[in-house]
Amino acid sequence: MDWLESAAFSLLVVAGCSRDPAGRLGLANLTCEMAQRGCGSRDSRQFVSDLELLGADTSASVSTVHCSYGGAMPAESLLETLAIYADLVRRPHLPPDQLDDARQVCIQEIRAIEDELAQKAFLELRRLQYGDPFGRSSPGTIEGVESVSEADLARFFADTYRPNGAILSVAGKFDWRRLLDHAGRLLADWIAGDAPPWQDTPAAERVVHLPQESSQTHIGIGYASIPYSHPDYYEARAAIGVLSDGMSSRLFTEVRENRGLCYAVQASCHSLRDRGSVLCYAGTTTERAQETLEVVLAELIRLGRGIAQDELDRLKAKLKSSLIMQQESSPSRSYSIAADWYHLGRVQTVDEVRAIIDGLSCDRINAYLESHPPRDFRLVTLGEKPLELPVGIS
């Protein structure tokens, strides 16, 4: 992407919250916080100030599978920034005298979610959809974070910050050969570890109501779908696009425009490596929540009956625009190639994805919907009153 002045990277290690041991929920998140408190020759303050002087706009987050570090910066700062992050994943100080501060930071994060009701409802929906450990929320629990010891942290780091399964992606303006040499010097002698298999337990409940004093009711609806790596993924994604992408989408039209039921309503595809789901959210005032739930469910059922050509045409225009505009942003391209590598084991070029979008047809999408109609819904409501699932819908 030589037309840009920037470069961006994503560095993923298989150190997500699905690796949290029982009784230590939140350990992955705490390790991520601690890893950023000094590494290599830098202490905590030096780490932050060096990155800021390099102009690196950085981020760190923990998902169920990965801990992801990333940054975007002026192109000339890329190699130096990568050297700092190689230190972070290989030689963090994990300073014992900062463990309590870091623990407090993580507890603040858990407390903050208590006030973010839409997010709280959504996290509960993910738990229902994926069970344990893939439906976990990365901040974990206050008890879990409080019980983490120095030894827990050291063990978690030693077990999970390893090159097997780790992904480094770079996009933007850079010289491939120099980058490769540099990454080789930084990471080639990183020693692989063991990755034990996950123990997968589905959630017992399908419907959950979280009582909450609030003027709004938050509704989450989920159902199983196919993962990103599935050959029909783009058919599944297009169907959800018709449901939710853009102002002429079915949910926006029926829930917001025609009925004025809520301000925010949306559905999206979510994917793990071996399974996927569709997750929907609507937030509305309590007295209108039952009607909102019924309208959203009716739209999900109707989607199973197929989509129309004009809906697909609009969606294609939107998907193609987004794809091309991704070329204007090194961080968004870097993120997407890391995701491709994890899910597919290879990177799809922009031209390849464009050809897939062009090739989408109503017939194939409708055939997909016929064999995979939205059903077996999971439901989370958060608000003053529980809602009723309409008759005939499970």
Query: What residues contact 214, with CB distance under 8 A and at least 6 apart?
Result: 117, 286, 382, 383, 384
Burial of 211 (0-12, 13-18, 19+ CB in 10 A): exposed
**Would you say 248 or 348 has its CB closer to another protein?**
248
Candidates 40, 95, 227, 246; binder of another protein (CB under 8 A) is 246
- Least separation in angstroms between residue 144's CB and another protein is 16
- Least separation in angstroms between residue 181's CB and another protein is 25
Could you say whether residue 273 binds another protein (CB under 8 A)? Answer: no
Q: Which of residues 359-388 bind another protein (CB under 8 A)?
A: none
**Would you say 65 or 117 has its CB closer to another protein?**
117
**Would you say 190 or 252 has its CB closer to another protein?**
252
Could you say whether residue 115 binds another protein (CB under 8 A)? Answer: yes
Residue 125 half-sphere exposure, CB side, CA atoms within 13 Å? 28
Counted residue by residue, the chain has a size of: 394
Q: Are residues 146 and 5 in contact, defined by beta-carbon separation less than 8 angstroms?
A: no
Q: Which of residues 176-195 bind another protein (CB under 8 A)?
A: none
Q: Are residues 303 and 369 in contact, defined by beta-carbon separation less than 8 angstroms?
A: yes
Q: Look at the block and give the residue holding tokens 């739209």.
A: 299
For residues 150 and 37, give the distance between their C-alpha atoms in angstroms, rounded to a whole number: 14
CA angle 190, 196, 201 (to 5 degrees): 140
The interface mask with another protein, positions 65-94, x = CB under 8 A, is: -------xxx--------------------
Candidates 191, 204, 247, 391; binder of another protein (CB under 8 A) is 247
Q: Which of residues 209-238 bind another protein (CB under 8 A)?
A: 213-216
Could you say whether residue 140 binds another protein (CB under 8 A)? Answer: no
- Least separation in angstroms between residue 111's CB and another protein is 6
Q: Are residues 280 and 267 in contact, defined by beta-carbon separation less than 8 angstroms?
A: yes
For residues 23 and 146, give the distance between their C-alpha atoms in angstroms, rounded to a whole number: 10
Q: Which of residues 309-368 bind another protein (CB under 8 A)?
A: 313-322, 324-325, 327-330
Could you say whether residue 308 binds another protein (CB under 8 A)? Answer: no
DSSP string computed for 24-76: -TTHHHHHHHHHTSEETTEEHHHHHHHHHHTT-EEEEEE-SS-EEEEEEEEGG
Could you say whether residue 266 binds another protein (CB under 8 A)? Answer: no
- Least separation in angstroms between residue 188's CB and another protein is 29
Q: Are residues 138 and 16 in contact, defined by beta-carbon separation less than 8 angstroms?
A: yes
- Least separation in angstroms between residue 335's CB and another protein is 14
Selection from 171, 181, 179 nearest residue 6 by Cα: 171
The interface mask with another protein, positions 277-306, x = CB under 8 A, is: ------xxx--x------------------
Candidates 40, 44, 63, 348; binder of another protein (CB under 8 A) is 44
In angstroms, what CA-CA distances link 359 with 226, 306, 313, 336? 19, 17, 11, 21
Could you say whether residue 268 binds another protein (CB under 8 A)? Answer: no
**Would you say 41 or 104 has its CB closer to another protein?**
104
- Least separation in angstroms between residue 114's CB and another protein is 4
